[in-house]
Amino acid sequence: MWTAKKVNPRIEGLVYRVNVEFYKDGVLDHMERYETTQSQPENWPAELVKRRIQHLEELETFQVTAGDITLPADPVVDTAKEDWLADYSLASRAKMLVDLGVIPANNAKYVALLARLKTNFRPEYIGLI
């Protein structure tokens, strides 16, 4: 069982320092130092020590095994969706140019872009725009 003892709490300059001794089954195992530049309650760093003891206890049951590491697969990207969204964005900006009279509505590239949007549209894209 792990226990801890706060040792030598002090302020050095503008830093509040506390040494904490960690005991395993009543025997000193190691010491850690906690520091902060903020004012703290008298029982500081009780919450930090509590979490540290939980980690130490978890390490005791941690199983170390050797072997190959299986890397997670790269996420699958729906390129059709990404392409359609890029075309939609471009068409939206091109529509502004048509509305301003900068390019005619029958511009071949603009017409082809609109046709591509209609051809490649999927109903699930509605929530994306």
pLDDT in tens, 73-124: 888 888 999 999 999 999 999 999 999 999 999 999 999 999 999 999 999 8
CA separation, residue 70 to residues 11, 16, 62, 65, 67 (Å) = 48, 44, 19, 13, 9
What gap in Å lies between CA 74 and CA 76, rounded to an integer?
A: 6
Q: Tens digit of pLDDT for each residue in 45-73?
A: 898 999 999 999 998 888 778 888 888 88
Which sign, positive or negative, has the C-alpha torsion 35, 60, 58, 46? Answer: negative
Which pLDDT band, with edges at 50, 70 and 90, does 43 fall under? confident
- Do 9 and 52 share a structural domain? yes
- Do 42 and 9 share a structural domain? yes
Q: Three-state SS for 112? A: helix
pTM over 0.75? The answer is: no
User: Is 31 among the domain residues?
Assistant: yes
Range of the domain at 16: 2-61
Structure tokens at 85: 């969204």
CB 54 within 8 A of CB 34: no
Tally of domains in the chain? 2
- Do 18 and 52 share a structural domain? yes
Last residue of a domain, one of 16, 31, 61: 61
Structure tokens at 92: 């939206």
Q: What is the pLDDT of residue 56?
A: 93
Q: What is the pLDDT of residue 129?
A: 80
